Amino acid sequence: MSSANTAYITRDLAHVWHPCTQMKDHEQLPPIPVRRGEGAWLEDYEGKRYLDAISSWWVNLFGHANPRINAAVRAQLEELEQVILAGFTHEPVIALSEELCAIAPAGLTRCFYADNGSSAVEVAVKMSFHFWHNTGRSAKRRFLTLSNSYHGETLGALAVGNVELYKEIYRPLLMDVITVPSPDCFQRERGESPAEYSRRQFAHMEAALGKHAQEACAVIVEPLVQCAGGMRMYDPVYLTLLREACDRHQVHLIADEIAVGFGRTGTMFACEQAGIRPDFMCLSKGLTGGYLPLSAVMTTEAVYAAFYDEYVKLNAFLHSHSFTGNPLGCAAARASLAIFRDDHVLEANRTLAARLGERAGALADHPHVAEVRQRGMILAIELAADKASRAPYPWQERRGLRVYRHALTRGVLLRPIGNVVYFMPPYVITPAEIDLMVEVAREGIESATCD
Ligand code: PMP
């Protein structure tokens, strides 16, 4: 049967190799060609609409084709599309840096740019190592990371992450890291609070820092939510303890806020909930409102100063990407930050998050739901084969995929991670759309767990 979508699918499958995809799956479930987007909705070539409940891989904040961001990018396009950022500069990157420094945890006063999240992680890792080298501590060359963490797919970022599915095959290529058990509160004992468990799990980190401080550059974490690891959450107290211990052991703290930054957890940055300032804060995804590939690593004067020297000392951070600080991306980012300010977004999101929690909370009673957890605008529903023991469904059964397929038939884009169905919607979602999204997830869970 030929249709408007089919023509694109045929052409796509002839040449496009899709990310994070077993391409053979497309024999059963072809990619959906998207013609346009508006607000929280995507539309294919046959007019079918999909509610984007996952913000197109967690990037979109204020809807597709947002008029204010569109206008800002369009205006910038008429002035300057791209310029080398070495030896040259431009107003969008200057102003964006000022604005980021004004809203970031106090003390993060320097912005280094790249063009995607993984590259930001690479920058933070290299900068931390290089800082210790420049300050005479060249024995420091290892990184501590949490189990179940995710920091991207390039080799350095993959090395400091811990999701086996993505990492295992490449292990021979990766630097050796120190992996510490996660504070993931899904693992807590019955009757134990998330704060108690997070505090208890910190003992592993304290021990690892005690053992490895002399050789450790930094600890890298996803603050509060391990997103790709299945939206596993932990208490802010872990970050407070971690900041104190990193200071005591003279080890940097890298906060990867690529997914959780820009309001996802309820505050502008997740670190704020622990009252801490990391040494490096990685930003991407929502940085541009989800419009364009741009990332930033924010750091302190102390780090900056360790690279500031006579050229001949060869102490500079000689890292670059061609599109570093792209003006269009910076313009989109500034427009996105203006929306945060003008529309009191964090405040408005509290109402949306409450609605989401209220509607999805009812799913906790489902016989195959082990947990419903939420942090701000992120809500996750953990499916289990056995509710009492929390035994997971075997991954080969691909229960989440069944939810995905059901939701597509109902016009909602959900993209479960294994057995975890989650919502991370754009902030322009309406209460009625939240209700729809949750109802469709409920139906999907029902049909995915009925056998
Ligand atoms: N860190 C975290 C916490 C992420 O969630 C992601 C992307 N899912 C990345 C890093 C990598 O970002 P990118 O896909 O832009 O390389």
Residue 256 beta carbon below 6 angstroms from any ligand 1 atom: yes
**pTM for the full model?**
0.98
Domains of the chain: 32-65+345-448 (3.90.1150.10), 70-343 (3.40.640.10)
| Tokens at 436, concatenated | 């729809």
Residue 255 beta carbon below 6 angstroms from any ligand 1 atom: no
pLDDT value at position 162?
95
- Closest ligand 1 atom to the C-alpha of 58? 8
Mutating to test ligand 1, I would choose from 150, 182, 233 the residue with most ligand atoms within 8 A of its C-beta, which is 150
52 C-alpha to ligand 1 centroid (Å):
18
Residues 239 and 199: their CA atoms lie apart, in Å, by 10
Residue 93 beta carbon below 6 angstroms from any ligand 1 atom: no
Residue 258 beta carbon below 6 angstroms from any ligand 1 atom: yes
Q: Which residues of the chain have pLDDT under 70?
A: 1-2
Residues 145 and 165: their CA atoms lie apart, in Å, by 17
- Residue listed under structure tokens 């909602």: 412
Q: Are 234 and 182 in contact (CB under 8 A)?
A: yes
Residue 259 beta carbon below 6 angstroms from any ligand 1 atom: yes
User: Which residues face 253 on adjacent strands?
Assistant: 219
- Closest ligand 1 atom to the C-alpha of 259? 5
120 C-alpha to ligand 1 centroid (Å):
9
Mutating to test ligand 1, I would choose from 285, 287, 424 the residue with most ligand atoms within 8 A of its C-beta, which is 285
33 C-alpha to ligand 1 centroid (Å):
24
Mutating to test ligand 1, I would choose from 262, 284, 378 the residue with most ligand atoms within 8 A of its C-beta, which is 284
31 DSSP assignment: P
pLDDT value at position 2?
61
Residue 363 beta carbon below 6 angstroms from any ligand 1 atom: no
258 C-alpha to ligand 1 centroid (Å):
6
Residue 150 beta carbon below 6 angstroms from any ligand 1 atom: yes
Residue 230 beta carbon below 6 angstroms from any ligand 1 atom: no
Residue 284 beta carbon below 6 angstroms from any ligand 1 atom: yes
DSSP code string of 36-75: EEEBTEEEETTS-EEEETTHHHHT-SS-BT-HHHHHHHHH
Residue 148 beta carbon below 6 angstroms from any ligand 1 atom: no
Residue 117 beta carbon below 6 angstroms from any ligand 1 atom: yes
Residues 161 and 166: their CA atoms lie apart, in Å, by 9
123 C-alpha to ligand 1 centroid (Å):
13
5-18: pLDDT as tens digits? 999 999 999 999 99
Within 10 angstroms of residue 27's Cβ, the number of other Cβ atoms is 8
Nearest CA to ligand 1 atom 9: 152
pLDDT value at position 238?
99
DSSP code string of 272-310: GGGT---SEEEE-GGGGTTSS--EEEEE-HHHHHTT-S-
151 C-alpha to ligand 1 centroid (Å):
5
262 C-alpha to ligand 1 centroid (Å):
14
Residue 227 beta carbon below 6 angstroms from any ligand 1 atom: yes
Q: Are 177 and 103 in contact (CB under 8 A)?
A: no
**At 200, phi and psi to the nearest 5?**
-65, -40
